[in-house]
Amino acid sequence: MKRYSVFAIAREAMRQHTGWDRAWAKATPKKKYDAIIVGAGGHGLATAYYLGKNHGIRNVAILEKGWLGGGNTGRNTTIIRSNYLQDPSAAIYEKARSLYETLSQDLNYNVMFSPRGVMMLAQTQHEIRGYQRTAHANSLQGVTTEFIGPHKVKELCPIINIDGPRYPVLGALWQSRGGTARHDAVAWGYARACSDMGMDIIQQCEVTGVRQANGKVVGVDTTQGSIDCDKLGIVVAGHTGVLADMAGFRLPVESLCLQALVSEPIKPCMDVVVMANTVHGYMSQSDKGEMVIGGGTDGFNNYTQRGSFHHIEETVRALVETFPMISRLKMLRQWGGIVDMTGDRSPIISKTPLGNCFVNCGWGTGGFKAIPGSGWAMADLMAKGEPGPLAAEFSMWRFREGKFIDESVAAGVAH
Ligand SMILES: Cc1cc2nc3c(=O)[nH]c(=O)nc-3n(C[C@H](O)[C@H](O)[C@H](O)COP(=O)(O)OP(=O)(O)OC[C@H]3O[C@@H](n4cnc5c(N)ncnc54)[C@H](O)[C@@H]3O)c2cc1C
């Protein structure tokens, strides 16, 4: 595949851009693969990429029932940060954040990583104590964050109202190298690199059954026929319960619709990401100028990938005291994605009761930021059959053993 570069653009400009290759090849299933990944979202594609790059396993298929990146990866609000409280979380999210720093160069694809800084507002005394504790934990973990006062918040984000009558801004947990990236580009960049390594990305190919013999996986049934494999990775976010059922085990994961919305585009007015956990909302400004606004999950389990009016009202009402300018904005569109929530709000990267079948799920409302680190850890697990240091604590059996990795504070708002 041709590399993207300034010289390639200049060359193509001379010939009306007729020489570009397709970003990834259209593939049909082979009879057998060394590894099959179910789900061409960011986590599935990153797993395949690091299987090839770090472990030399390239006879790999990524099966996607819709179009690649069409699940939560193409529906999220793109916040990237690693300011989690518990050590295993900080390790994997910081690994992911640091991989994002050079992802465009690694993939030769501009993922538009923008480390503009992320702040989580403290709007109650309780939150001040919580975020100060996280800042201390982060400094022990080697994650650069700091607790800042309200005037620094105002300086970094002039459109904010720090004197709200109900919830004044009392400070914030600030991560200056957090930020955003272009979600589609992350999926497309990994897909292009996987295809370049000879892997097959097969879209419109729904997995309908998991075949097994002698306690081990031997293949999958799909809408494009049966395909054999030595190893299977299930990376399907909100549909994890469905796939686990096919493989014959259960997981403590709930599926919920998480919604977001964007406003009409306006002139640049905010160059940081702000999250307000107490009132439950978060906002950043996209490169197109739209205010990207996220709210919470539906209050009941469901598989509906769409928005609803009461969520717009709830989310905008929550944010309007802190950002009065929102009251004058027109909202352009809203959408939903099916997120996979675990009880401790931490992911699962694990072996399963079925031999050679591995699962990566439970990223819930906050897995976009984790894509590179999660793919790295999952590839390690699939290649070696045992979890490496990044995944060791995220086994599915932690729920049975009571070894929770409680991130309900760090994941207190859906981001
Ligand atoms: C509105 C919203 C806002 C969010 N905001 C943020 C944020 O700001 N920051 C952040 O870090 N995270 C955020 N998230 C969470 C983040 O988007 C997800 O954690 C992450 O994208 C999950 O990626 P994935 O690859 O695991 O899943 P997905 O991208 O959902 O990919 C899974 C794929 O599996 C496919 N699939 C399912 N079943 C089958 C089957 N039987 N056969 C074949 N394929 C199948 C699906 O079609 C899908 O494409 C948000 C999510 C939503 C919905």
In order of their start, the domains of the chain are 29-79+85-94+183-252+344-401 (3.50.50.60), 114-179+255-342 (3.30.9.10)
Task: Provide the 8-state DSSP code for 328.
Answer: G
How does pLDDT run across 245-288, given as a tens digit for each residue?
A: 999 999 999 999 999 999 999 999 999 999 998 888 899 999 99
Cα(18) to centroid(ligand 1), Å: 34
Q: Are 322 and 121 within 8 A, CB to CB?
A: yes
Residues paired with 240 in a beta bridge: none
Q: What pLDDT is stored for residue 299 in this prediction?
A: 86
Q: What pLDDT is stored for residue 413 in this prediction?
A: 55
CA 198, chain centre distance (Å): 25
Q: Which residues line ligand 1 (CB under 6 A)?
A: 38-44, 63-66, 70-73, 75-79, 206-207, 235-237, 239, 243, 258-260, 294, 337, 339, 363, 365-369, 415
Residue identifier of the C-alpha nearest atom 41 of ligand 1? 207
Residue identifier of the C-alpha nearest atom 33 of ligand 1? 39
How do strand 60-63 and strand 171-175 relate by DSSP bridges?
A: unpaired
Cα(366) to centroid(ligand 1), Å: 10
Distances (CA, A) of 354 to 176, 212, 231, 246, 312: 42, 8, 11, 11, 42
Q: What pLDDT is stored for residue 414 in this prediction?
A: 52
Burial of 373 (0-12, 13-18, 19+ CB in 10 A): buried
pLDDT less than 70: residues of the chain? 409-415
Q: What pLDDT is stored for residue 409 in this prediction?
A: 65
Helices (H), 142-293: 150-156, 183-196, 240-247
Cα(237) to centroid(ligand 1), Å: 5
Token pair belonging to 119: 């702040």
Q: Are 116 and 179 within 8 A, CB to CB?
A: yes
Q: What pLDDT is stored for residue 97 in this prediction?
A: 98
Report d(CA 87, CA 370) in Å as an integer. Answer: 15
Q: What pLDDT is stored for residue 124 in this prediction?
A: 95
Q: Which of 201, 365, 415 to mutate to test ligand 1, by most ligand atoms within 8 A of the CB atom?
A: 365
SS3 207: strand
Q: What pLDDT is stored for residue 303 in this prediction?
A: 93
The position carrying tokens 């309908």 is: 208
Q: What pLDDT is stored for residue 107 in this prediction?
A: 98
Q: What pLDDT is stored for residue 411 in this prediction?
A: 55
